[in-house]
Chain A
Amino acid sequence: MAEVRLDCLFEACPIPLIKTMQRLKVLNQGDVLIVETDHSCATKNITEWVGKQKLLCQVVEVSNGEWEIYIKKVR
């Protein structure tokens, strides 16, 4: 049940999404990935993709224009 942070700050689309896909692949079931981003489009395309993968996810705006996307690898 590890918690892994992925720094995607100052990166533009589609880099945050591709990095998220790659990192989730090597995580174990039950792990949580926290994606840090300041790119609003990333919060949309990452949550969309996570939904299609049937994983759990929650977006928190940690400061103005900066988000953390919590993704739980439930399967």
Chain B
Amino acid sequence: MKQKIIIGPWSYLTGAILLAILNTLLFAVMHTPWQITTAITYWAAWILKFFGGTPENWHYFANSASRSEGLSQHFLSNNLSLMNLGVILGALLAVLIASQFRVKKIKSPKQIIAALLGGIIMGYGTRIALGCNIGAFFSAIPSLSLSGWVWGISAFIGAWIGSKLLIKYLL
């Protein structure tokens, strides 16, 4: 029982059902479905503000009421930021209960370059696509948004190209 629930990996079906229930509850309580990268954008903008930058003048924030409101909040007062914190703390808790926590070492410089390049491309991509695989895909499709399907097809093509690059450069 313990092995199955706490340690062993769950089936995709179990995961899918739980995610659907939890996202529905989140939508009912917060009036916004699960999303991740908008808050990461706030995190980066808050860090920039701390060091004297003025992201509030940027087109991205200045021309949107919800984004300028988000920018005026902080790490623990913004709902989307708290959601991300919940994901991180939840994942940490799960891995600690299963006693599988490890600090991963960096194996090669290739991993650093790939992580940095990948992070920059993903971050830029989520802003022009208005979300990541959670906000713009997983949460968009159940909201009956056509953009979710467009996102999915585009991600499929991107993942195909990405896997070719991965085999060529990272293996």
Contact = CB atoms under 8 A, between A and B. Distances in A.
Interface in A41-70: 41, 43-44, 64-66
Contact of B100 (A15, A18, A44, A65): A65
B113 to A, nearest CB: 14
Range for the number of chain A residues in contact with chain B: 10 to 19
B106 interface: yes
B9 A64 contact: no
Contacts of B167: 18
A54 B166 CA distance: 27
Contacts, number: 34
A24 to B, nearest CB: 15
Interface residues of B, number: 16
Contact of A10 (B99, B107, B171): B107
**DSSP class of B's interface residues: helix, strand, loop or mixed?**
loop
A43 B107 contact: no
A41 B9 CA distance: 8
B107 A40 contact: no
Contact of A66 (B102, B107, B170): B102
A40 B100 contact: yes
A40 B10 CA distance: 11
A43 B111 CA distance: 21
B90 to A, nearest CB: 15
Contacts of B166: 14-15
Contacts of A22: 171
Nearest to A43: B9
Interface string A1-22: 0000000011100110011001
Contacts of A43: 9
Nearest to B104: A10
Nearest to B102: A65
Contacts of B171: 15, 18-19, 22
B60 interface: no
A38 interface: yes
Given A9-B107, A11-B107, A18-B167, A38 B9 contact: no
Interface of B: 9, 95, 99-102, 104-107, 111, 163, 166-167, 170-171
